[in-house]
A and B are shown apart, each in its own frame.
Chain A
Amino acid sequence: MMRVSLLKRLTVISALLALILALAVGLGISIGSTGNYLKEVLAALFKGQPADSVLATIIWQIRLPRVILAFLVGAALSLGGLVFQALLRNPLAEPYILGISGGSAIGAIGGIILGFSYFPGVGLLSFAGSIATLALLLFMSSGQTVLKKDSLLLSGVMVNAFCAAVIMFLVSLTRDSRLHNIIFWLMGDLSMADTKQVGLLALALVPCFLTVFWLSNRMNLLLLGQETAQSLGVNIKFTTLALLITTSFMVSGTVSFCGLIGFVGLVMPHLLRLFIGPDHRILVPACILGGGAYLVLCDLLARTLPGQGEMPAGVVTALIGAPLFIYLLKRSRK
Chain B
Amino acid sequence: MSSAALLQVGLYLAALLLLVKPLGSYMARVCEGRTGGVLRPLRAVEQAVYRLCRVNPAQEMHWKQYAVAMLVFNALGFVVLYVLQRVQGWLPLNPARLGPVSPDSAFNTAVSFVTNTNWQGYGGESTMSYLTQMLGLTVQNFVSAGSGMAVLVALVRGFVRRQAASIGSFWVDLTRSTVYILLPLSVALALVLVSQGVVQTLRPYVRVPLLQATADPNGAVVTEQTIAVGPAASQIAIKQLGTNGGGFFGVNSAHPFENPTPLSNFLEMLAILLIPAALCYTFGKMVKDTRQGWVLLAAMTIVFVAALAFCWRSETQVLPAVAALGVDARTTAAQPGGNMEGKEVRFGLANSVLWATATTAASNGSVNSMHDSYMPLGGLVPMVMMQLGEVIFGGVGSGLYGMLIFVVITVFIAGLMVGRTPEYLGKKIESFEMKMASIAVLVPCLCVLVGTAVAVMTPSIGASLSNPLPHGFSQVLYAFSSASNNNGSAFAGFGANTPTMNLLLGMVMLLGRFWVKIPVLALAGALAAKKHVPVSAGTLSTHTPLFIVLLIGVVLIVGALTFIPALALGPIAEHVELAAAK
To the question of whether A and B form a pair in one complex, the answer is no
Residues of A within 8 A of B (CB): none
Residues of B within 8 A of A (CB): none
